[in-house]
Structure 1
């Protein structure tokens, strides 16, 4: 039985929870860095005298970087490993966020936001691929939705930082705080092993076996190898809270040539339906999310609320994301990916429609919270669904291209909203547009989606 098959049959171990927490913290930092810009933009509109179109461009340029980062990062992860790309992109977007605090003009901020986006785009599909490849089929949906739930915590952290820091110390300091996650790379590099599925696929069988035994809690005996933890060999290291002796890496390799996937193969008869489904799914969800939530604090400010009020309302809406994730996690392994995703996207569409019509604080908070609840729950299912539709050799590439294409929606949406508002088009019409996009997403799920609940990941090969 292959290592991949044995992973599918494992019960949930202590390792899985520690991996979820470790990757989740990285995910939280991703969200925090993404969220900070949303709260800085209303301030910059006043401080720099930016037009709505310029604000939209700042939101969009980060998505340009995310699109390229997802495509390049996912493809590289299928060649050099998930762990290396995860670590590198974490450092990249954290440092770039700190550089945003040094921005001296609209143009310089565009450059730094592009770099932030590139790092974020490279990390997200790789992180979810890494966690999915460690998690057994029976629990994969729950674990990946819970991983995505850390996004809500990061966005909430960004809201709190902005609420407390920006009025007192200015927007620069908020960006400087966003650089702190770069230090987390030292923990990730030491304690997170490489995916055993990736190692097995690339013929590094002794290393894959050693990682599997560690995950399963078995004594690896004389079969120890480099677990992908740290960079040294022949030294002791603390691995997942217990002492592990790491011998020199095995130089043995399977001489079988690894069949690398190409972009063209993603559109072959084998994968065509899945690729079209995922690309359309990612486009619609990313378009609606970044169009709505990048502009949310600014839209509230346009409606006449003070910056402090706008930030406090967004914090309330962000809190609703957390039960949204947990609800999605509860249903995704019980009733399946397809019906849960369709329900949550439909809920987002309905909430967006009524949010656009809201004319009181109560309606804004109620429908804004429901919009957050359903939209972020849908994101959790999206990240569960995507890696399950490709085999190991194509997983990083397939997920990366799907996310990259989706980012085109994220590039367009903030700019489209900016131009609509700049042309004095009402917020009601803006949210009616998002409602229509989300209805099309529901149709895509129902027509092209396939159920993957409980299915071993490499059955798609």
Structure 2
């Protein structure tokens, strides 16, 4: 259920890039106006992540999944029926708010459901579904919609069909439990044991047999009295350095990713390719995203987080410079584009794994949300810089900027402590003291 939600998140995240050429054809929308739609989407995503993090730490993770899914489905419908550009912008703000919160709470929940040995792979699978499959299939979804529906308003169908995730809300309410780790942090030992019994039985509904007491007030690794949620802790003591350094890192990776996602179809059309062909090319390049997510998820079990981040950033920098200066034919564009996307999603996935491990349970959702919110802000602002670089200096200028972002990421990830193979409790509770 969590993975299905983030899959649709990825399709929604790609929507502006997919409809961009059609909106320009239909409404005469300028490149600046398209860039603003991305900016407002990712600014709202930052707000959604912060809000979800605060509520998730105070009221629980589970309920926010349903709320966020409903929000971005509502926003998609508003975009589909928008009579003017301003209404599309309002719809994208609502979409962004729900989208940002959904991913932040999904990362937190998956990190809390799994033990240290499997945690990295489990969180990484989120981006296999979103950054990998979602980003790769999004251009194919665009081709399918624009093939099935014709006319200047065919972009409306793409937005409208993305409202389908609202149907998943009923399943969220029935099947997804609260995380035992959160319940323990609130002193709810009996409820935590109930969830653990359901997970152990493989039955999230129906009657259970004689319950086992996996955790007691004596042997639990978490406190069994409610912990005070001091949200300012993420900017105090040892947590401040972790929050800021990973915040810089995620700004670099999200800025690179969203610049490519939002601008590549329009850039390819500007170079003389048809809308359909540009989307097909983008799909091929996005196959690298799936490879990157799989690499990061697999490496999470065997390789330290900082090693993965440093190596992927170095390779991404090399691929970006090669794309900017050497991609002169279709084969090189597709190959180097896939390589850049592979490195970007390897970085994003590993940051998603790394971020929740830096915080104690009492502020984990908020701390993770702060980091991802900074990424959303960068995702909203960087495409404008990348677009200006492309307008002034072409592909070389745009991908030089992306290469510089990779360098900044490689430096910033050296600051937070390594968490590979360690239980969350080993670093978290003491980090803010």
Query: How high is the TM-score relative to the length of structure 2?
Result: 0.91
Q: Which position in structure 2 is the counterpart of 1:335?
A: 303
Once the 2 structures are TM-superposed, how far is the Cα of residue 294 of structure 1 from its aligned partner? Answer: 1.2
Deviation readout 1:29-54 (Å, 9 max, x if unpaired): 11111122211012112221122211
Q: Which moved more, 1:27-36 or 1:155-164?
A: 155-164
Q: For 1:116-195, what aligned pairs fall within 5 Å after superposition?
A: 116-151=95-130, 152-169=132-149, 170-195=154-179
Q: Secondary structure at the match of 2:206?
A: strand
Contact 1:94 1:182 in 2 (8 A): yes
Kindly indicate whether residue 206 of structure 2 is the aligned counterpart of residue 243 of structure 1. Answer: yes
Q: Give 1:135 shift.
A: 0.4
The reply to whether residue 279 of structure 1 matches residue 213 of structure 2 is no
Aligned mates of 1:192, 1:210 — CA distance in 2: 13
Contact 1:281/1:445 (CA < 8 Å) preserved in 2? yes
- 1:21-170 correspondence runs (5 A): 22-151=1-130, 152-169=132-149, 170=154
| Aligned-pair CA distance for 1:346 | 2.0
Shift of 1:419: 3.6
**Kindly tell me: are residues 257 and 208 of structure 1, through their superposed partners in 2, closer, same or farther at Cα, counting changes over 3 Å?**
closer
DSSP 3-state at the match of 1:403: helix
The Cα of 1:112 is off from its aligned counterpart by: 0.7
**Contact 2:252 2:409 survives alignment (8 Å):** yes
Measured in 1, the distance between the counterparts of 2:405 and 2:111 equals 29
* Residue 385 of structure 2: aligned partner: 416
1:312 Cα deviation from its structure 2 partner: 0.6
Tell me by how many angstroms 1:256 deviates.
4.1
Counterpart Cα distance in 1 of 2:23 and 2:341 = 25
Q: Could you say what secondary structure the match of 2:413 adopts? A: helix
Which residue, out of 383, 395, 413, partners 2:364?
A: 395
SS of residue matched to 1:199: helix
User: Are residues 255 and 363 of structure 1, via their aligned partners in 2, closer, same or farther at CA, if it must alter by over 3 Å?
Assistant: closer
Q: Encode CA deviations 1:66-117: one digit per residue, 9 max, x unaligned.
A: 0100111111100111010111101110121122111222211111101100
Deviation at 1:415, TM superposition (A): 2.1
Partner of 1:359: 328
CA displacement 1:93-148 (0-9 Å, x = unmatched): 01211221112222111111011000011111101111110101011111111121
Residue from 407, 412, 422 that aligns with 1:455? 422
> Cα RMSD between the aligned structures?
2.0
1: CA distance, partners of 2:179 / 2:120: 18
Deviation, 1:421, is 4.3
The alignment partner of 2:243 has SS state of helix
The number of residues matched between the two structures is 411
CA distance in structure 2 between the partners assigned to 1:204 and 1:458 by the alignment: 18
**Which structure 1 segments of 5+ residues have no match?**
1-21, 219-238, 248-252
Alpha-carbon distance in 1 for matches of 2:320, 2:36 = 23
8 A Cα contact 2:259 2:382, kept in partner: yes
